[in-house]
């Protein structure tokens, strides 16, 4: 707006103020909306102040293979960092296993704490204490670990019920992305349950809250300040956050945390049944009473499920009165059960409806016991990307639930495996390939040598005591 030149400066200034005031005048609705926005901002600020003191930065030192061209030794020191959160005021911390695995020394940097009523003289707060930490135990299957530091009355957070999460719910991710301590980001729950690998009972919460390297082990928090997940991994093409972050659900975290805190390891339950998702084709072919739900594909001999009377081909309708819609849901629910509990199954067998109580027993840990028995020179099967060993009397004693007295045990997965990630798991036992029985490593390599690149290999394997077929394409 132009000011007439014949006005005196004082009157011109007054006219300008009045004019601008009319332009920027707010309606009652606008004022109400801005006030609500301010209240929302204040709520997030208060939430961050509540959560941040319990979030820690973790530094681990260990050894890793050095650069053969520059390193004079085989192993070289390696230092990494991640995040964690205090879940007990006596110094018990949850983080990711990959943050501390293989570490020879672990230190925890606490958040800076200000005395009540004290006013900070700078927005750059001093760093908190750095304390040595002990690894009480780690669980590779969930990628979680529990640490202990000396301390009492430390700030801590409560675990929330992750089963109550809903798509679109607001959450905050805390941690130290790229080493930048005490950072917070905002997002929503993109999915309440993501299975990242086939046949994997572990599920994750997916969020678009920005998560980057260094956030691993930090808490995913709801608007009540409860930990509903532990930030674990991201999917990224650039190496940075692309809105595809994944967190271990709070209810699984609670189970792992309490067990490691009490026993130093995680005892997992099973009942001895291979649960498969019913498809319409299976339902028609087997004349099942429904074309959805869970089918008992295999019942391990001598298992609690077998002793309770469950048969292969039975339809598992419900677990503890909860209707089972697919095999993954059944596995996840069994996965969380403490060893020694009983579960109630409602089963459909033809037109008959049965109920049976089944005891949960400890699932044997077969994944990491065989690494010391293999080396790449003698045990590598490059066409499958595995390190494997023959089933001899010593291995047989370590695998008491073998379904056959021959085969090849998968001890480890090669880092450069040509087979799709997640196809094989340590502890798998290979019994056959394309209908030919496999009695040892020599026979497995001989059968693989007959295949050309692109040929299909249908392997009969035993996984966690149950038989299944695994199809892979031979690429090299």
Is residue 191 within 8 A of residue 153, CB to CB? The reply is no
Is residue 277 within 8 A of residue 295, CB to CB? The reply is yes
Name the domain boundary from 327, 362, 397.
362
Is residue 295 within 8 A of residue 279, CB to CB? The reply is no
Residues 386 and 453 in one domain: yes
Annotation marks residue 216 as catalytic: yes
Q: Which of 111, 85, 141 is nearest to 425 (CA)?
A: 141
Residues 390 and 466 in one domain: yes
Q: Which domain holds residue 236?
A: 162-263
Q: Determine, yes or no, domain membership for 146.
A: no
Tell me: the pLDDT tens digits for 389-407? 998 877 877 776 788 888 9
Give the separation between CA 295 and CA 88, rounded to whole angstroms.
41
**What CATH number corresponds to the domain at position 230?**
2.40.10.10
Q: Determine, yes or no, domain membership for 240.
A: yes
Annotation marks residue 263 as catalytic: no
Residues 440 and 467 in one domain: yes
Residues 170 and 223 in one domain: yes
Least confident of 295-304, 331-340, 449-458: 331-340
Q: Catalytic residue, from 60, 81, 83, 98: name it.
A: 98
Mean pLDDT across the chain, nearest whole number? 82
Q: Determine, yes or no, domain membership for 200.
A: yes
Q: What is the DSSP letter of 185?
A: E
> How many Å separate Cα 312 from the centre of its chain?
31
Tell me: the pLDDT tens digits for 159-187? 999 989 999 999 999 998 887 888 899 99
Residues 330 and 301 in one domain: yes
Residues 348 and 397 in one domain: no
Going through 243-333 in order, the beta strands assigned E by DSSP cover 245-249, 269-270, 273-277, 294-299, 315-319, 322-323
Annotation marks residue 73 as catalytic: no
Confidence at residue 419, expressed as pLDDT on a 0 to 100 scale: 65
For the chain, the domain total comes to 3
**309-313, 337-341, 375-379, 463-467 — most confident range:** 309-313
Q: Catalytic residue, from 60, 176, 216, 300: name it.
A: 216
Q: Determine, yes or no, domain membership for 286.
A: yes
Give the separation between CA 97 and CA 135, rounded to whole angstroms.
10
Give the separation between CA 107 and CA 59, rounded to whole angstroms.
5
Vertex 74 angle, CA 69 and 80, to 5°: 95
pTM score, two decimals? 0.66
**What CATH number corresponds to the domain at position 378?**
2.30.42.10
Answer yes or no: is pLDDT of 115 > 90.
Answer: no
Q: Catalytic residue, from 143, 181, 298, 314: name it.
A: 143
């Amino acid at each position: 707006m132009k000011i007439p030149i014949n006005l005196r400066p004082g009157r011109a200034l007054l006219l300008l103020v009045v004019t601008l005031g009319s332009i920027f005048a707010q309606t009652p609705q606008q004022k109400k909306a801005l006030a609500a926005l301010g209240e929302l901002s204040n709520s997030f600020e208060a939430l961050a102040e509540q959560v941040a003191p319990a979030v820690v930065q973790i530094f681990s030192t260990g050894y890793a293979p050095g650069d053969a061209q520059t390193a004079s030794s085989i192993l070289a020191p390696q230092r990494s960092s991640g995040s964690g959160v205090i879940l007990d005021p006596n110094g018990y911390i949850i983080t990711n296993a990959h943050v501390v695995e293989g570490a020879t020394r672990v230190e925890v940097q606490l958040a800076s704490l200000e005395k009540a009523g004290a006013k900070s003289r700078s927005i750059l707060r001093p760093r908190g204490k750095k304390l040595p930490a002990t690894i009480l135990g780690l669980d590779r299957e969930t990628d979680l670990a529990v640490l202990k530091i000396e301390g009492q009355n430390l700030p801590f957070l409560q675990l929330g019920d992750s089963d109550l999460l809903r798509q679109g719910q607001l959450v905050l991710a805390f941690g130290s992305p790229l080493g930048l301590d005490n950072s917070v980001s905002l997002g929503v729950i993109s999915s309440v349950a993501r299975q990242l690998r086939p046949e994997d009972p572990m599920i994750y919460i997916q969020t678009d809250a920005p998560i980057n390297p260094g956030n691993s082990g930090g808490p995913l928090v709801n608007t009540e300040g409860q930990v509903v997940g532990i930030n674990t991994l991201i999917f990224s093409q650039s190496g940075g956050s692309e809105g595809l972050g994944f967190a271990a659900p709070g209810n699984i975290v609670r189970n792992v945390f309490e067990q490691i805190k009490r026993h130093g390891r995680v005892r997992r339950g099973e009942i001895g049944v291979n649960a498969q998702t019913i498809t319409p084709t299976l339902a028609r072919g087997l004349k099942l009473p429904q074309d959805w739900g869970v089918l008992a594909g295999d019942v391990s001999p001598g298992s609690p499920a077998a002793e309770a009377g469950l048969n292969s081909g039975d339809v598992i309708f419900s677990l503890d009165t909860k209707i089972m819609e697919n095999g993954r849901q059944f596995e996840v629910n069994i996965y969380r059960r403490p060893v020694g509990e009983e579960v109630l199954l409602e089963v459909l067998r033809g037109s008959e409806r049965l109920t049976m109580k089944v005891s949960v027993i400890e699932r044997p840990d077969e994944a990491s016991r065989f690494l010391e028995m293999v080396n790449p020179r003698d045990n590598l099967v490059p066409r499958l990307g595995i390190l494997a060993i023959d089933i001899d009397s010593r291995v047989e004693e370590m695998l008491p639930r073998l379904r056959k007295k021959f085969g090849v045990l998968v001890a480890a997965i090669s880092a450069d495996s040509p087979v799709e990630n997640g196809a094989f798991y340590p502890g798998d036992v290979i019994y056959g390939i394309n209908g030919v029985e496999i009695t040892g490593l020599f026979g497995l390599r001989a059968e693989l040598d007959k295949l050309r690149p692109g040929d299909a290999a249908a392997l009969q394997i035993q996984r966690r005591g149950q038989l299944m077929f695994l199809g892979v394409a031979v690429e090299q």
